[in-house]
Amino acid sequence: MGGDETKAQPETGPRDPSESFDPAGADRDPVDRFRRWAEGARTAGSVMTDITILGTSSPDGVPSARAVILRGVDHRGFVLFTNYESPKARDLEANPIGVLVFLWPELHRQVRVAGPVERVSQEESEAYFRTRPTGHRLGAWASPQSRVIGGRGQLERAFDEVRARFPGNDVPLPPFWGGFRVIPESVEFWEGRENRLHDRVRYRREGEGWVVERLAP
């Protein structure tokens, strides 16, 4: 974000005067601020409110990134779900550090989250899986995510086989599918301003609390 030619603010509305970038007046927990910003993005009509770029790294240090959907956030961290045999899951298992980037251009805002990653509990994965449409649950069983396949016909045949295996709506959680939680150690909030003098504040975990620091743009 942020070149010299970039407009400081979106034309959808003025800057929120209550949004403090003064560390002394900032929220004491970044999750509270994140939730408020996400809700502001929804109110502004963002179609990317829950879309985030997940960055991972292989054991050899090769970076990779992809767009995923945030499925939950609380004071424990940021949760996403995937096939545990996918490349991103293999990265996270071998090198359990993740980075999330949220971009809300309607508000000219960005949030970056970084920290260690852990699997969510089996119970959490099962609870979320039950909320998915039946077709999505069948698809989780049918798709060998990110592997080379011979064509769409192969995928559709696999889906039909799974649908015959699990008739009705009672589709269980696959043993190879579940969630990860990014536990924030650093959360940075960015908001565009005029003359490239953007506002940035970073929350850095220290012990049981957070150090709040303003950063130069």
Pairing relationship of beta strands 97-104 and 51-57 according to DSSP bridges = antiparallel
Cβ burial of 61 (10 Å; 0-12, 13-18, 19+) is exposed
Residue pointed to by tokens 């003098």: 197
pLDDT digits (tens, 9 = 90+) for 38-54: 999 999 999 889 999 99
- Distance between CA 104 and CA 110 in Å, rounded? 6
pLDDT digits (tens, 9 = 90+) for 78-127: 999 999 999 999 999 999 999 999 999 999 999 999 999 999 999 999 99
CA distances (Å), 89 to each of 6, 79, 128, 138, 180, in order? Answer: 36, 13, 18, 20, 8
Q: What is the pLDDT of residue 13?
A: 40
Domains, the chain, ordered by start: 23-131+176-214 (2.30.110.10)
Active site residue 200: no
* Residues recorded for the chain: 217
- Distance between CA 110 and CA 107 in Å, rounded? 9
Q: Which of 15, 196, 202, 204 is catalytic?
A: 196
- pLDDT at residue 14 above 60? no
pTM score of the predicted model: 0.87
Give the pLDDT band of residue 2 (cuts 50, 70, 90).
Answer: low
Long-range contacts of 13-20 (CB under 8 A, 24+ apart): 13/44, 15/191, 15/193, 16/40, 19/191
Q: What is the pLDDT of residue 69?
A: 97
Most confident range, picked from 140-144, 152-156, 176-180:
176-180
